[in-house]
């Protein structure tokens, strides 16, 4: 049997790296092609990856917690006792090296960018790439706080973030005495503060939201919608035996309106704006692992019961952490609803590559002056549209939002 490499697979067109969160086998154990091998976190979700080889796990090259570029070898599978040949790390980009400029720092552009982001001094780093080339992994490792094993065990015992502990050892390494000293200075566990280390998902969400705000010209429109007739329609549909929510009806109206306003269903690139003539609706779902946005494909082609059923399935899979990469890819517009939590009105951040996002608030009774001068109690709901001003101007964005309002206030138009 020839030793086989296990590589980090590419999951989605935009994926460039993943985080190995858990190995499901240990070195020396048997693995089979097609059976679960490890868990990986991308910039969108956590998924289980199956083995591409059958044999004995000879060597795990990247343990849990490593950030690994796509297609890099992460493990070796072969026969027991087989001589292990560990592949040299592949350079991410040789553009920063030059035989004509030997004095120039040997570092890839990606590693340089990561060093600037993390504040790492690279001049003293030893690169693990060919000929000492510094790659991103070297920078990430250098940014981590070094500590003795005992110091780390003490930090875990006292629920202390080791990154916050000043080190007094060689090259600022954290030793056991540092942790004990820091533990004596920190507040008791039942005092006024609780420190919650960032999860991988929280880091990803934070980065993506920041990137969205940094790269788009985000503007916002808001208006109120009279949902009285929509609630009556929903009650009639429910009495007929079909389970439909307010959010389902909002999604149906949005899908219909997007076909009339393709500029809200578009993507901005360096050279052009690409309008989509199909509607893949993202539905924001809050889960224990963080915010996920499953995509309802071709939502514009579904009637209301079909759309409601598709949304229920997507939400269930999101909460069970059973979504695939395809389930959360390819969205053209997103709807997020916090009405069930009592939020009257809020402003959402656009998902990357999309042109807009609609935030839906709670439906509440309000006194409304009607056209005939009478005052009635009506069911009112706020809508808030955040849009990318690079793609669409304020007037057409407002027209789109007004069209959604018209459909919600006259739900018979959708039948």
Q: Cα 52 vs. chain centroid, distance in angstroms? A: 26
The one-character DSSP state at 98 is -
- The pair phi, psi for residue 132, each rounded to 5°, is 75, 15
Which DSSP string corresponds to 361-397?
Answer: EEEEEEEEE-TTS-EEEEEEEEEEEEEETTTS-HHHH
Please say whether the beta carbons of 225 and 257 come within 8 A.
no
CA distances from 324 to 45, 53, 71, 314, 385 (A): 8, 22, 19, 11, 28
Please count the other Cβ atoms lying within 10 Å of the Cβ belonging to residue 238: 12
Active-site annotation holds for 277: no
Strands 17-23 and 290-292, how do they pair?
unpaired
String of b and e for 381-410 (b: at least 16 CB within 10 Å)?
Answer: bbbbbbbbeebbeeeebeebbebbbebbee
Ramachandran sector of residue 372 (left: φ over 0; alpha: ψ -120 to 50; beta: rest):
alpha
The owner of tokens 């919600």 is 408
The owner of tokens 């109120």 is 224
How far apart, in whole angstroms, are the C-alpha atoms of residue 207 and residue 12?
A: 18
> End-to-end CA distance of the chain, in Å?
63
Please say whether the beta carbons of 385 and 403 come within 8 A.
no
How far apart, in whole angstroms, are the C-alpha atoms of residue 58 and residue 166?
A: 38
User: 246-260 and 304-319 helices cross at what angle (nearest 10)?
Assistant: 110
Q: Collect all residues with Cβ–Cβ distance below 8 Å to 333 and sequence separation of at least 6.
A: 254, 258, 264, 265, 279, 280, 281, 282, 354, 355, 356, 357, 358
Out of 158, 221, 277, 389, the active site residue is: 389
- The pair phi, psi for residue 108, each rounded to 5°, is -75, 155
Please count the other Cβ atoms lying within 10 Å of the Cβ belonging to residue 236: 11
Query: Which three-class secondary structure state does DSSP give residue 303?
Result: coil
Query: Catalytic amino acids?
Result: 389
């Amino acid at each position: 049997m020839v030793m086989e490499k296990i590589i980090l697979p590419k999951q989605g067109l935009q994926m460039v790296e993943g985080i190995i969160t858990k190995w499901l086998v240990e070195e020396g154990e048997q693995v089979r092609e097609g059976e679960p091998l490890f868990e990986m976190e991308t910039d969108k979700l956590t998924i289980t990856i199956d083995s591409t080889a059958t044999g004995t796990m000879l060597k795990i090259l990247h343990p849990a917690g490593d950030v690994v570029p796509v297609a890099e070898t992460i493990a070796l599978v072969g026969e027991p006792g087989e001589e292990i040949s560990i592949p040299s790390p592949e350079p991410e980009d040789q553009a920063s090296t030059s035989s004509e400029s030997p004095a120039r720092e040997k570092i890839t552009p990606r590693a340089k960018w990561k060093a600037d982001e993390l504040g790492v001094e690279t001049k003293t780093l030893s690169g693990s790439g060919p000929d000492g080339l510094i790659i991103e992994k070297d920078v990430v490792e250098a940014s981590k706080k070094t500590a003795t094993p005992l110091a780390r065990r003490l930090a875990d015992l006292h629920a202390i973030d080791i990154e916050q502990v000043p080190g007094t050892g060689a090259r600022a390494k954290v030793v056991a005495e540092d942790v004990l000293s820091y533990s004596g200075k920190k507040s008791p566990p039942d005092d006024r503060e609780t420190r919650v280390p960032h999860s991988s998902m929280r880091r990803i969400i934070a980065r993506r939201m920041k990137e969205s705000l940094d790269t788009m010209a985000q503007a916002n429109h808001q208006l109120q919608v009279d949902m009285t007739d929509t609630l009556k329609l929903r009650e009639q549909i429910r009495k007929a035996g079909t389970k439909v929510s307010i959010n389902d009806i909002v999604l149906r109206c949005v899908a219909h309106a997007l076909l009339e306003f393709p500029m809200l269903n578009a993507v901005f690139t360096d050279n052009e704006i690409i309008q989509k003539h199909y509607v893949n609706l993202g539905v924001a779902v809050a889960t224990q692992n963080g915010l996920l946005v499953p995509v309802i494909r071709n939502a514009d082609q579904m009637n209301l019961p079909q759309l409601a059923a598709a949304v229920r399935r997507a939400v269930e899979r999101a909460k069970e952490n059973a979504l695939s990469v395809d389930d959360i890819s390819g969205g053209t517009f997103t709807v997020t609803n916090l009405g069930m939590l009592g939020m009257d009105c809020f402003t959402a951040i656009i998902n990357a590559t999309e042109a807009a996002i609609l935030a839906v608030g709670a439906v509440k009774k309000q006194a409304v002056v009607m056209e005939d001068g009478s005052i009635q109690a009506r069911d009112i709901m706020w809508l808030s549209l955040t849009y990318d001003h690079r793609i669409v101007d304020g007037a057409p964005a407002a027209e789109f939002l007004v069209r959604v309002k018209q459909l919600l206030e006259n739900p018979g138009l959708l039948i």
